[in-house]
Each structure stands twice: as structure tokens, then as C-alpha cells.
Amino acid sequence: MGDLLYGIHPIYEALLAGRREFRRLYISKSRRIKGIETLFELARAGGTPVQYKAPDYFKSRLGDSVHQGVAAQVSELPLSDERAILKKAETDSALPLILGLDGIVDPQNLGSLVRTALAMGVHGIILPKTRAAPLSPAVSKASAGAMEHMLFARVANLVAALQRLKKAGLWVAGSHAGSQNAVDQADFNVGLVLVIGGEGKGLRPLVCKTCDYLVCVPQKTGIDSLNAAVAGAMIMYEVTRQRRK
């Protein structure tokens, strides 16, 4: 089993991260090496066989995906667990920051959240085994390769996982459009699990009850016009803004 990564950034970042086994690198015959020299050199240095393929190969395997004329047959991204994420957080000089995702099923939203999370110093991401997009090549592409550097834990029960993290001393804050607590009024200078709900439905009721507090991004319109990735990015930025102060 494995994945067919595609696109320059996901493959380059996967090579840098060194967490996947690279079995083969495919380059389109219509693709010039100029522009992917570093990627090409990294693959060759690691002993990855390189094959040149006709453009039809990429079309048949990847459809209309933006592959940029490069793909790689790799092993699946290794998963972590809560303990490893907590250990990483505890050894960092920054306060713990873990992202919990409840019902994020769209690969583009998941990729965007992962990209922001890496930029904002999130120590790891916890996902349920069901009602969640798989950690697919599409997500790696949407994250511009950030997924290759992030720790992920898949859990059977998100509520139980949040309760375990609370027992470990972390606070749990949930993003909820119906909350009366504006995100810039919350105190994020604590070890934190930030939980973002899925597109349309938001956080499930039991997840909401498990949170220590709920926050929202104030909006001038009367409707919730922010998707999960945008709202999550704004809240993650507010967490890091407060902590910098």
C-alpha cells in the first residue's frame, strides 16, 4: 500500500521530512528539469529511481489534478498518537497547542488547516477515524506539502481523546459560530487544544459540551460566511498573537 504524491511542493517537502519511503519518482517527458533541480537532486541522492513518463500516464493516474509534471510512489504517511504529540509539546519552549478537527471532510479545507497549523506552531493534529478526510495526496497538495511535517493522531472517539488531553492539563477551546465569546476576548495563554468543526454542521453537540469554552469570529453579516479553514486560520493566528505579547 502507498500513495501517489503529486506536485512539486508535496514531493519536495516529503523528501525533506524523510518520513515516507520513496519508491519511485515519475517525471513527465514534457517536463523540463529546470525548476525542479533541487527535488530531482534530493531524490537521486536518496537512491530513489527516476522514470520518465508520457503525459498520458499522469492524465490516467491523476485526472485533472495539478501535478506539474511530477509524481512519486511513496509509502503512506506514518501516523502518530496523542502521547507523541503531547511529548513534542512538552519539549517545546512554547505553550502546547494541539488542533482537534471534528468532521472536516473536504480535502481542500483540511489541507488549508494543516498549512496554517504548521505556520502557527501547532504541535500536532487529532482527527477522528470517521467523519474526516483521509490524509491523501490531495490534502498534501492543498497544504503545499505542510502535511509531510505535521504529526497526526487518528482516534476512535474524539470526545474521549479531548477528555484525556484535559486530564493531561490542557484546556479545550471550540470554534462555534453561535458562541457569544469573541475570539479576541478569550485567554489563550494556556496549554490549549483548539477544536474546529466541519463544514456546515460545525462541532457536534457532545464535542461542544466537552470544550471548556467556545469562541467565535465576530462577523458583520447575520450569517456565518466563514468556512472551517478560514475561521480556523483566524483563531490560530489570534492564539499566536496573544502568546507573542
What are 10-23's pLDDT values in tens digits? Answer: 999 999 999 999 99
Check whether 98 has a pLDDT greater than 70.
yes
Please give the pLDDT value at position 223. Answer: 59
The sign one gets for the Cα dihedral 237, 240, 242, 245 is: negative
What are 117-129's pLDDT values in tens digits? Answer: 999 999 999 999 9
pTM of the model: 0.93
Query: What beta strand segments (E) does the chain contain?
Result: 3-6, 22-28, 50-53, 70-74, 97-102, 124-128, 152-155, 171-175, 192-197, 213-215
What are 183-204's pLDDT values in tens digits? Answer: 999 999 999 999 999 877 889 9
pLDDT band at 222 (very low <50, low <70, confident <90, very high): low
pLDDT band at 227 (very low <50, low <70, confident <90, very high): confident
Which of 142, 217, 204, 124 lies closest to 177, judged by CA? 217
pLDDT band at 243 (very low <50, low <70, confident <90, very high): very high
Check whether 40 has a pLDDT greater than 90.
no
Averaged pLDDT of the chain: 92
* 59 close to 12: Cβ distance less than 8 angstroms: no
Average pLDDT for 177-185: 86
More confident residue, 73 or 177: 73
